[in-house]
Structure 1
């Protein structure tokens, strides 16, 4: 497998070109000087020839490169010529070439061959205009299309042409506006819109039988972001140092309908294909001293899978899906917040799949839902984003001090399980509960339709009678009957003196 961290950084460079070029004063020389200083502070080496004449600064033979010593690779761009033109009204136009060549490479190891990807970043009908004041600037970028295209892939010294490797990504109707405030740090606010994106990826190793294609599109993308970037020189690969220097960012992308097709062909292992679609969603990310946060949601997702070993397709759909992850990133003696959540709402399988294990239709086939929402506090013992994180790992990376089950819901096949509760943990006491910190708190659970589901599973032959009897005994031990038929409730308590109670009855 190719290592892609360097590649990911390379893909981000064109966006930097579009944004950081505007983070400067409003004369051509100062715009270029500030852009160059910013890129050098981020770790890029820059070579160029400058010529200032007639209110236009021409920067020719411009090349950027960043070594990646830990990964044994580098990202480089041969941009060619840029022009910084004073418009005579206090604004500066930045004239860029239609095509910017890029090269991304990584040296090989004993188990992972080295590779080089030569790519073109292309744009049409594009313009960048910087306006405002040196302390508060606005840049406007517009383009009919922007795209990224693989020209050549070299693996372990061997070149693979377009018949074996293809990457082609195109975005149309691209518009971006950024306001930048420059003081002790660089603060920015950004908005953007993209009419649509198409992507086409193909990989085939001629020495093996398998080949993979990946195609799709998305429409109506919007971007909102803001953040703070340090002005001082910081190793951009050391995210812990970046955060300590003031780095803080957040952003949200929304999108309309989209679809993806995946096709894997392998004469030896069998073929696989997948087609997915959705009617829109949202993805957000934030990183800074307060922690790292990801969240995403999607609506009306449909999937069709075809696997060589199965004689029929797998069709599933979900009306809503979502996830969230929040975690601290800075080592601290104080507890910090964390969270995790996942939602699979109104999950539906095709009757063909149901027929495999329920041919007589005994189980209700209503849409199923699974939701889990957790939050809590933990003490981070390691700066895991620091360059020397591995040397800090003398023990566990952190300690959980509190956990809240804000919502637990499993609603499927005629049964419904719900739960919520709060528990704290004493990490100084690892003996009351051997091998784990002592818990104190309570979890409330309720189950509806549990016995009915067990009876149907036994009747279908999916669950042996003796196992169903064991399950009923466990429910009888931990739960009590509810107010309605076939309902159970349970309160599991962890007391300060180390007891574990189920509905007031001691079980430890």
Structure 2
């Protein structure tokens, strides 16, 4: 698993502060002072000019600087001007201009060319207000529209404008509310919504033959999250240290119907286009000392693609697509939970594609489904997110799987259906019974419906030689027994404490 990019993490932090107002107090100077303390705690150096005029504190020429770890060079960012206004009701308004220009300069080491990114954060009908108490502050933000626009990208001596590198992202109907409690740590809870997002992206590198255009939209985004952020972070790129300091965040984004259109114009390799639609889905993340977890789903997704060299479009659809992944990240003597799952529900492809390998229509063309749902416990022997973990992984065993549960295994396609479930434990002190892996103890139950019928069809179509089909039938006869229904096979594969492998009670090892 890749570690978080220091540059990406560094860019995200100041933008997050501006968009959801992470910290605040009830006077302008204290609001800005706490913002400044927060960003300095994240490793930024800050330069700005401050001027007070009555109830208004103006902070101009804001510049953030950071020396990135691992000899990655330095980064600086300019954020323009902000105003902090004391209201008569004891709240503080944070006033940003309608257009806030931002410039990011990255000066890498090792001879790499410097990069300058110039962009604009634009908003209309916007308001940001802090209320509550110093111990528990509530920030409310709303805007009619918000937008990010890439104006210019400079790499070394080469400058690219929107004709070469275009990124326009516009959101409408934006609102959020963040409650921040400050004590020995910072904890927050946040909710938000965006009525719609539209994006328009184009890449035209003059030195490359391919020109890429992508645009699309998504509706009804909602956000719900919270977590704990340490008061001082010495190295934002060292996630292991941040987790030990108490960093723990989680969030869920849900979204409605959306569509994307991508076009690639390539004079050397041929053109490509793809369009997708979906009825929405969700994406969740959790990161803390207890582990890292992702989950997501998408409903009623459809894809149409035109590929150079193919005389027909590729049409596919799926009623449900989902995944989940959770894993420990911190070294521990105690077993920790892990899980993995993927669902491809009711997958269909067009008759044109089917006809390539089944022109006579001998195979059932019912929607196909695949489900894999695994969970278990493992002991992690290294801090997975530690910057030195890569060196440790090269010389040390990263962990030990203690147990594995196959909650569900399902493959339903072309008229055949395979189902399975089982439980295993692993003896990590015995690496000889099954050379190179810990000894498993447990069993898995499998059932296959329509397997012989599928083999007959594949032979009739000429896709499978008869002798190979005969070999497959012999293997099924060795590992399975007939079920009560026609063309049904059942199998119980057991791994015993003595190191034996049994198929339906018959020893095969």
Per the shorter chain, which TM-score range? Answer: over 0.9
Contact 2:10 2:236 in 1 (8 A): no
Give the 3 Å change call, closer, same or farther, for CA 311–109 of structure 1 in structure 2. Answer: farther
Could you tell me which residue of structure 2 aligns to residue 128 of structure 1?
Answer: 128
Shift of 1:437: 0.5
Q: CA separation in 2, counterparts of 1:20 and 1:414?
A: 55
Counterpart mapping for 1:18-167 below 5 A: 18-21=19-22, 23-70=23-70, 72-98=72-98, 99-105=100-106, 107=108, 115-167=115-167
Counterpart mapping for 1:120-269 below 5 A: 120-269=120-269
Contact 1:448 1:486 in 2 (8 A): yes
Contact 1:447 1:487 in 2 (8 A): yes
Contact 2:6 2:68 in 1 (8 A): no
Shift of 1:273: 1.1
Give the 3 Å change call, closer, same or farther, for CA 89–392 of structure 1 in structure 2. Answer: same
Counterpart mapping for 1:303-318 below 5 A: 303-318=303-318
Contact 1:14 1:121 in 2 (8 A): no
Q: CA separation in 1, counterparts of 2:477 and 2:375?
A: 30
Indicate the larger mover: 469-478 or 200-209. Answer: 200-209
Q: CA separation in 2, counterparts of 1:205 and 1:257?
A: 32
Could you tell me which residue of structure 2 aligns to residue 285 of structure 1?
Answer: 285
Shift of 1:71: 6.5
Indicate the larger mover: 57-66 or 475-484. Answer: 57-66
Does structure 1 residue 493 correspond to structure 2 residue 494?
yes
Could you tell me which residue of structure 2 aligns to residue 366 of structure 1?
Answer: 366
Could you tell me which residue of structure 1 aligns to residue 413 of structure 2?
Answer: 412
Could you tell me which residue of structure 2 aligns to residue 399 of structure 1?
Answer: 400
Q: CA separation in 2, counterparts of 1:71 and 1:368?
A: 49
Shift of 1:9: 4.1
Does structure 1 residue 433 correspond to structure 2 residue 434?
yes
Could you tell me which residue of structure 1 aligns to residue 349 of structure 2?
Answer: 349
Contact 1:32 1:84 in 2 (8 A): yes
Q: CA separation in 1, counterparts of 2:170 and 2:10?
A: 18
Q: CA separation in 1, counterparts of 2:9 and 2:18?
A: 15
Indicate the larger mover: 70-79 or 176-185. Answer: 70-79
Aligned-partner SS, 2:305: strand
Aligned Cα root-mean-square deviation (Å): 1.7
Give the 3 Å change call, closer, same or farther, for CA 41–11 of structure 1 in structure 2. Answer: closer
Contact 2:6 2:69 in 1 (8 A): no
Contact 2:6 2:236 in 1 (8 A): no
Q: Paired residues, what number? A: 504
Shift of 1:50: 1.6
Give the 3 Å change call, closer, same or farther, for CA 181–4 of structure 1 in structure 2. Answer: closer
Could you tell me which residue of structure 2 aligns to residue 464 of structure 1?
Answer: 465
Shift of 1:65: 2.5
Contact 1:84 1:93 in 2 (8 A): yes
Contact 1:18 1:128 in 2 (8 A): no
Shift of 1:337: 0.4
Contact 2:5 2:237 in 1 (8 A): no
Does structure 1 residue 294 correspond to structure 2 residue 294?
yes
Q: Gaps spanning 5+ residues in structure 2: where? A: none
Contact 1:71 1:106 in 2 (8 A): no
Could you tell me which residue of structure 1 aligns to residue 503 of structure 2?
Answer: 502
Shift of 1:85: 0.9
Shift of 1:12: 4.9
Give the 3 Å change call, closer, same or farther, for CA 152–345 of structure 1 in structure 2. Answer: same
Q: Gaps spanning 5+ residues in structure 1: where? A: none
CA offsets per residue over residues 171-208 of structure 1, 9 Å max, x none?
11110001111111111110000011111111112122
Q: CA separation in 1, counterparts of 2:364 and 2:113?
A: 52
Give the 3 Å change call, closer, same or farther, for CA 391–185 of structure 1 in structure 2. Answer: same
